[in-house]
A and B are shown apart, each in its own frame.
Chain A
Amino acid sequence: MMRDRSLRAADPAADWRADPASTQAQTMLAGILATPRDVPNELSGRSPAGQRRTSGQAWRRRMAFGGAAVAVALAMSTLWNGEQNGPAPAYAVTTNLDGSVELLVQWEELDDVAGLAATLREAGVPTEVTSSKPERYCATPADRDRASEALNKMNSKGEPASLDGYVMAPRLFPEDSTLAISTFFDKSNHMVWTMFYLAPTGSTSCALSGLLGKGEYTGPEPRPTRITAPDLSE
């Protein structure tokens, strides 16, 4: 039938080959496998995709892991995700008597983002994992500054005082907010970003705080000399 032939010829993706072995696909797969499956109230209903907006990713990350240690006193307990005598653990979560929670993480070693999120939740930090870049800010600049203080210590310039760890204060989180750990791929510059930010509970698509985190270049050589960090609309 002529019409069918014309329609087939108009297929915009007929020659497009999406390779499951590509970095993008493998990254996607790893992120999905890192996502917990037992999420209540998300799996019922006929429309399988209608109930949720978040997902998990566990891309390879790289993080500068040195410099001054974050000053933390009165440590109550520290949860390491690795065995005491095994390889160096990927992260450590410490709960302090003042309610703050310290996170130290070696992104290169971290394969289990969902596990990290679970550990943070256990330490009292409401945490969600997502693979989507937040689309916009949903707080005023002043409110974002205050929220960022709850996520990490800031210096006088409003920049993170330390990049080798995070000190979070859940009691200072805005009401009905959660820590979002987002790993996403920006194909415009081949960067895989891992970002921490505060978001409204149940909606990680907008940020209540500034974004803290790291990126890893995954594109072809030569590496670009300048990379623009993700920017959000107001």
Chain B
Amino acid sequence: MEDDRARFVELFQRHYGAVMRYAARRVGQDRASDVVNEAFLVAWRRLADVPAPDPLPWLYATTRHVIGNEIRGRSRQARLVARIGDGDELVVADHADMVVDQVRVRRALAELSEQDQEALRLAAWEGLDAGAAATVMGCSRAAYKVRLYRARRRLAAALTPVNSRNAADAALTPLANEG
């Protein structure tokens, strides 16, 4: 039992920040702590299931389940998507063009399916390789890479004016090189 406590404390101290950011990116900072509390509580109760070598994808997957359950339970998806779309403006607004671009990207991201969003976020925001991201999404590595590729295409389409989409499609990098 003491070994478990020590292991859990170490797990918590090491990954608290990353899991909080993961949650904040998806539900906002004000709701992140509740979600993370739930996720780590699951980890505490299922400590034997938490992979010892690389627990972060497992923690992300658990947090994702918590968020999913919460959304389903409370019918909050519309509000959460709206929040992500509007963007919690944490960026420094010194460079107006950059801020406008970030808001535009977030809105385009919010237009995609949740699965597309998650595939993109795991790569770009969490910085996971394909294997770890696949663990979070509960699919094979190959399936994740396909999802990521398609999600990138759809994001590009959402960011590109209609009259220039064909050109943009032609300029896409063939396939993600993650992992």
Interface residues of A (CB under 8 A from B): 1, 3-4, 6-21, 24-25, 28-29, 31-33, 35, 37, 39, 42-43, 47-50, 55-56, 131-132, 185, 187
Q: How far is A3 from B13 in the complex, measured between Cα atoms in Å? A: 33
B69–A50 contact, CB under 8 A? yes
CB pair B17–A48 under 8 Å, yes or no, is no
Q: With A7-B124, A10-B106 as known contacts, state yes or no: A25 contacts B38, CB within 8 Å.
A: no
A16 with B24: CB separation less than 8 A: yes
Chain A binding site: helix, strand, loop or mixed by DSSP?
loop
Whether A9 lies near B105 (C-beta < 8 A) is yes
The 5 closest A-B pairs by CB, nearest first: A18-B20, A20-B16, A10-B105, A7-B124, A49-B66
Contact of A13 with B125 at beta-carbon distance under 8 Å, contacts A7-B155, A35-B44, A47-B65 already known:
yes
A42–B44 Cα gap in the complex (Å)?
Answer: 12
- Do B38 and A9 touch (CB < 8 A)? no
Cα distance A6–B47 in the bound complex, in angstroms: 37
CA A169 – CA B97 in complex, angstroms?
A: 64
B141 at interface, CB cutoff 8 A:
no
* Contact for B8 among A6, A33, A47, A50, CB less than 8 A: A33
Which residues on A sit within 8 Å (CB–CB) of B34?
132
Minimum Cβ distance to chain B for residue A219 (Å)? 16
Task: Contacts A17-B17, A35-B41 given; indicate if A29 touches B125 (C-beta within 8 A).
Answer: no
Whole-angstrom CA separation of A3 from B172 in the bound complex: 9
B98 neighbours in A (Cβ, 8 Å): 9
* CB within 8 Å for A37 and B44 given contacts A19-B17, A48-B62: yes
